[in-house]
Amino acid sequence: MIPRRERILFAAGDIFGGGGGSLIAVLYLIFLTDIVGLQPALAGNAIFVARLWDAVNDPLVGSLSDRTRSRWGRRRPWIGIGALLLVGGMALMWMPDPPFDGQVSLMLWTMGTYIVYNSIQTMIMVPYISMSSEVAVEPHERNRINLTRLLFSTIASAVVTLVATHLVESHRDGSMGVVTLHLTILLVFGVPFAVAALGVAIGCRERVALPPVDDTRTWWSRSMMPLMHGPTRGLITMYICQALAMDVISAIVLYYTAHVVIGLSATVFLGVFIAVTVVAFPVILHMLRRHDKHRIYRFGMPWAMVAAVGLALYPSDWTPWGAYVLVLVLAVGTAGAQLLPWVMFPDVLDDAELVWGRRDSGTFAGLMTFTRNILSAAMLQVIGLVLQFTGYRPGGGPQPLSAEWGIRGCVAVGVVLTLGIGRYVSSHWPLTRERCLATAAELETRRHPEPPTS
């Protein structure tokens, strides 16, 4: 059994995973358009181009962390160094008054600072995600640890989301200046993120035996190796689909509440999502003892897709309470999809280890975060282009009807398309509960063979 202190320290590390991701998803696009003053299409382009660095960054760090050998293990040196650099990277990225004028210069500044931040984020998160399958060996204990870290992630996402929307609203009404906004982001978000990551680097350890270093292949061939494994391809698709649906909701909510359904609170909108996700944790932990994970993943998706269409078509002059009901249905329908992919991640690694005899967790985690980051950036670029071409006016204020329908279209098409694909892929998932238990037992036998009897 893992000591409770270590379990809490490790789970708390995902404060940065959930909080940092929510900060980007909720605040960054509208920060660039309404505070920095960048055109929506250029803002989307800057984010997408910067995220292309993930094509090298995530697989490279994953592969390098697999090959790292030190007295502190494979993952913790990377996490510790990244934690020490994090606040500085955020200071550059969230600067509200960059030292440049002109749209092209602002776009290049955004690209450069985002690349710096993204490199630091990768140094922390790819090794941390890899450790989630190595901090424990027994399947039920791994499930418990990963659900606990996802609880921390969700609570951090809740706090960051609510505070971030409040910051935007405070800046809009003139009660918060840009300097105060910048300092608040660094002190309220950046410092706790860094402390949480340092806690993992200092207080946790890996419990899976280290495989020998593989020098026979290039880092790129090692990085792409997981794509040869069918369950890995399926998990990546399921993970990306639910993540993109959440990205659409997070990125569009401030636009939706300001310009589509007047009187709807972005804070309450996202608060409903977060409350449902937190309540779902004990329910899902109980369900994991009896049901296949892929069935829990897809269970409520049809309700969520209907609710997304309902929000997209909701009349602007109706009471906000009807919209809140639809938000509740959407949150309930996506709760399983949000929580299950990283709980399924160790099962995929077990199956791959059974096939190949190796457990290169960093390589698998790097590929997952790479594909998620690239497609998330592409989604934000599409939203930026939709806003641009439907006539959205940067800086807020009244918007044309075409921009309102652009926002509505992002909600309906983005959520329904991504959840629909995720649900289809999950219906063909091969790693049933029985198969996962059998695989874990076989791996334990291989790792600790009984001595021959004389």
**Candidates 3.40.228.10, 1.10.3260.10, 2.115.10.20, 1.20.1250.20; CATH matching 9-205+219-435:** 1.20.1250.20
Distance, CA of 100 to CA of 391 (rounded, Å): 25
Using alpha carbons, select from 178, 161, 55 the residue that is nearest to residue 118: 55
What does the pLDDT profile of the chain (454 residues) look like in tens digits? Answer: 788 888 899 999 999 988 998 888 778 888 898 888 888 888 888 888 888 887 678 888 888 888 888 888 889 999 999 999 999 999 999 998 888 888 999 999 999 999 999 999 999 998 998 888 788 777 778 778 888 888 888 888 878 877 887 887 787 777 888 888 889 899 999 999 999 999 999 998 888 766 666 656 666 677 778 888 999 999 999 999 998 998 898 888 888 988 899 888 887 887 888 788 778 888 887 888 888 999 999 999 999 999 999 999 999 989 999 999 999 999 999 998 988 898 898 899 899 988 888 777 888 888 888 888 788 878 888 898 899 899 988 766 788 999 999 999 999 999 999 999 999 999 999 999 889 889 988 888 887 666 665 5
Q: How far is CA 144 from the centre of its chain?
A: 19
Q: From CA 45, how far away is CA 380, in angstroms rounded?
A: 9
pTM: 0.76
For residue 368, the tally of other CB atoms under 10 A from its CB is 25
List C-alpha distances in Å: 5 to 72, 204, 328: 18, 9, 35
Q: Where are the alpha helices (DSSP H) in 260-360?
A: 266-287, 293-298, 301-313, 320-356
Please give the C-alpha separations between residue 103 and each of 14, 29, 36, 186, in angstroms, as whole numbers: 35, 15, 10, 25
Closest CA to 222 of 127, 356, 79: 356
Report domain extents, the chain. 9-205+219-435
For 336, half-sphere exposure in the C-beta direction (CA atoms, 13 angstrom radius) is 25
